[in-house]
Amino acid sequence: MNAIEIIEKKRDGGTLTDSEIDHFVSGYVADEIPDYQAAAWLMAVYIQGMAPEETLALTLAMARSGGTVDLGTELTVDKHSSGGVGDKTTLVVLPLVAACGVPVAKMSGRGLSTFGGTIDKLESIRGFRIDLSGDEFRAQLREYGIVLSGQSADLAPADGRFYALRDVTGTVPSKPLIASSIMSKKIAAGARGIVLDVKYGLGAFMPTIDEARELAEIMAAIGRGAGRRVTALLSDTNQPLGRAVGNALEVREAIATLRGEGPRDLTEHCLAVAGHMLRLAGYSERDDLVDARETLEARLADGSALGVLRKLVSLQGGDVSQVDRPETLPQAAVVREIPAPGDGHVARIDALTVGRACLELGAGRLRKSEPIDHSVGVVFACQVGDRVVRDQPIFEIHAREASAAEAAGEQISAAFEWSDAAAAPPPPEVILG
């Protein structure tokens, strides 16, 4: 078997065997297969798709391409959010679940385009290290039950290589490639239970609920095929999640949420995701989400979830005083309030437009290596369904300079739609499996 035959077979719509996929992945990681052949193969996969057994084989081959984490316990859980404007779920959910005594280990990514990344958000905290080695990742998880790092070079390195190539060959939006990329990291990082938090809507990677369901089902099938427990939630991200969009602003909101002072939609979403994580971990004897929710609410109320965030920040070299005093996180030079243009109900806040405005403020990047500005973004004072009166502040722009604040103010104002009657709030999560 050689790389050309494998490319041709996929190009012609064939189904690759486990050993062909293994050969291709291991050959690429070992530099025996060059980028140009890997690029051709990725495009063939993009066009022809993959059967479920091929997607599983690809995921397992990528997961095996480096070291793996295995705590030897059934308890370890992880979650994946598929990206959405204002999505800071991880920053709340991981400490919350760890505060219940369930170990959580997560490798997160950087933001790209309108999608923020957990790693960028964490870097708003002075000194926070996101570059843990595989050994540090394992040791911290074993000793403290929580670790949240960037992608470690020695866990699923094939995914890192393929992802960089996909990014420049127009092959990112392929569901088998997305699903295998995400799940290979989950499997290598050792989670026995995985909650998939797949967003859909204007501000999400998947535009419709049907596409989100399809991606969730592919990922869930991979997880189960790899012997993991999986639950998937599909959630609406047509408006931003929570009130804040922008790195340090989202960290502040996550801290407020861990203090029990977060926006209702974000708090509810985090309790739902965390509840499913506890259930998969077998935490609740009754295997019941009501039981899990009571425990999680207690951990928010008694401050222990916030205490775990402090511990995580300190373990990874960050400045804990910024968790205690979030106002010391990076602050933008210009903060401008934007008033409501008239009386009415908020019918819609287009999350994609908001994401683009924040990208232009400097909160995100168009290329992977670009620097970002942690301080900039937007904080909403209202959400879909709220009634406001003329001149009441509806959002606040945080910008580097007045001209940027002005431009973003106009863009985000255009993201609002108004109605005379109260619009229905976003639909609740759909649970698969």
The CA-CA-CA angle for residues 196, 185, 183, to 5°, reads 45
Binding mask 149-168 for ligand URA (x = CB under 6 A): --------------x-----
Selected catalytic residue, list 10, 64, 80, 252: 80
> Residue 219 has which token pair?
């990922």
Please say if 166 is a catalytic residue.
yes
Using CB under 6 A as the binding rule, whether residue 122 contacts ligand URA is answered as no
Which of 178, 277, 315, 332 touches ligand URA by CB under 6 A?
Answer: 178
Contacts of 400 (CB under 8 A, 6+ apart): 332, 333, 334, 361, 362, 373, 375, 376
Report the alpha-carbon distance of residue 77 to residue 299 in Å, rounded: 18
Strands 416-419 and 344-349: antiparallel
Using CB under 6 A as the binding rule, whether residue 102 contacts ligand URA is answered as no
Using CB under 6 A as the binding rule, whether residue 59 contacts ligand URA is answered as no
CB 107 within 8 A of CB 189: yes
Please say if 80 is a catalytic residue.
yes
Query: Nearest-CA neighbor of 295 among 145, 104, 96?
Result: 96
Q: Residue 354 CB: number of other CB atoms within 10 A?
A: 27
CB of 60 to ligand URA, least distance (A): 16
List residues bridging with 432 in a β-sheet: 232
Using CB under 6 A as the binding rule, whether residue 223 contacts ligand URA is answered as no
Distance from chain centroid for Cα 196: 10
Point out which span in 26-34, 117-125, 174-182, 208-216 binds ligand URA (CB under 6 A).
174-182
Selected catalytic residue, list 65, 181, 184, 235: 181
Residue type, 126: R
Please say if 121 is a catalytic residue.
no
Report the alpha-carbon distance of residue 337 to residue 155 in Å, rounded: 44
Which residue sits closest to ligand URA, CB atoms considered?
181
Which of 182, 255, 274, 315 touches ligand URA by CB under 6 A?
Answer: 182
Residue type, 424: A
CB 362 within 8 A of CB 398: no
Please count the residues of this chain forming the interface with ligand URA, following the rule CB under 6 A. 6
Selected catalytic residue, list 121, 138, 175, 185: 185
CB closer to ligand URA, 206 vs 306? 206
Which of 181, 235, 316, 375 touches ligand URA by CB under 6 A?
Answer: 181
Binding site for ligand URA (CB under 6 A): 109, 163, 177-178, 181-182
Active site residues: 80, 159, 166, 181, 185
